[in-house]
Amino acid sequence: MLYRDAINLALDHAMQVDPRVIILGEDVGFYGGNYKVTDGLFAKYGEKRVIDTPIAENSIVGTAIGMAMMGLRPVAEIMTANFSMLAMDQIVNNMAKLRYMSGGKIALPMVVRMPQGVGRQLAAQHSQSLEHMFASIPGLYVFCSSDATGAYHTTLYAIRLDDPVILLEHVLLYPMDFEFYKVENFDPFKARILREGKDITVVSYLKMVHDVLRACENLEKDGISCEVIELISLRPIDFETIYSSVKKTKRLVVVYEAPKSFGLGAEISARVCEEMFYFLDAPPLRIAGEEVPIPYNRKLELSAIPTQESIYRQMLSWGKGHGL
């Protein structure tokens, strides 16, 4: 099943069983969504439940907050994370804080979905990974997943939660085809171990997971065995799973598409150093984007972010340099 279809299925299911679930965003209705994630829902549920909004990101999130306060369960789509900057006031100052500021009197059962990441030659204003911004805000949950099964369950789980959730998707994942299956008692707060290994713990999320998995297959041929952990929740992070893996492998690599500085890699490797310093056989490695806006030119674009090839090369030489 396509990644986008899995999210569509989750939305459809949620809307079918609960009339309080409504969708809003730019082009989500009549047009079917820019990435076709909401395709067909407008025809099925009508314009009162699948609402086309004007290009006003601040108010897409702001009105969803008002709806959630009154007990609806809105799922707002921001066309891409790049435009979520215009909604940052509502996301950071309101969505994340109203519960706390009201001493627990206000609940916001709402979801804000958005794709992010580097697509194909979309240039700087349409190619960003901003998960660290959302993940740094107490009061939000931030979820994402790398395949159709994960996307389906995470989306449903997010809608069911009585707390505000940011759901991050990746533009390049939408058209990818996956084997799809349903999971009993899916728990987004638990990281997924996608591959077991004994030499290096590799932590990644979203689209990079696939590049990591392929790089690790190649490393296997070089005699390096990697344990690959996929984070579904970026706030909170399932450190327990990371720690117990690092206890076993004694080495940590974090792979992500955003610029290296201030990203999830900084957070995860700092925590591992704080908690597991004496277990480590090597300083943690971050494989991440360059400190540049993403350029238009395809060659430059690809060299600005990790690829299967660059992940493999960096891990191999780092591994060699650290006793493997």
Q: How far is the CB of 9 from other proteins (least distance, A)?
A: 13
For other proteins, which is the closer residue by CB, 6 or 98?
98
Q: How far is the CB of 211 from other proteins (least distance, A)?
A: 32
Closest CA to 306 of 288, 285, 284, 281: 288
Type of residue at 116: Q
Q: How far is the CB of 166 from other proteins (least distance, A)?
A: 13
Active site residue 57: yes
Residue 105 burial class via C-beta count within 10 angstroms: exposed 0-12, middle 13-18, buried 19 and up: exposed
For other proteins, which is the closer residue by CB, 98 or 215?
98
For other proteins, which is the closer residue by CB, 87 or 228?
87
Binding site for other proteins (CB under 8 A): 13-14, 17-18, 20-22, 48, 51, 53-54, 56, 58-59, 61-74, 89-90, 93-94, 98-107, 109, 138-139, 141, 156-157, 159-163
Closest CA to 203 of 151, 140, 264: 264
For other proteins, which is the closer residue by CB, 182 or 299?
182
Q: How far is the CB of 45 from other proteins (least distance, A)?
A: 12
**Phi/psi of residue 93, each to 5°?**
-85, -20
For other proteins, which is the closer residue by CB, 14 or 294?
14
**How would you write 241-294 as a 3-class SS string?**
HHHHHHHHHCCEEEEEEEECCCCHHHHHHHHHHHHHHHHCCCCCEEEEECCCCC
Residue located via tokens 């958005």: 114
SS3 at position 117: strand
From the candidates 26, 77, 126, 210, give the one annotated as an active-site residue.
126
| Beta-sheet pairing, 226-230 with 192-195 | antiparallel
Q: How far is the CB of 139 from other proteins (least distance, A)?
A: 6
From the candidates 26, 57, 227, 230, give the one annotated as an active-site residue.
57
Omega cis (within 30) before 236: yes
Active-site positions? 57, 126
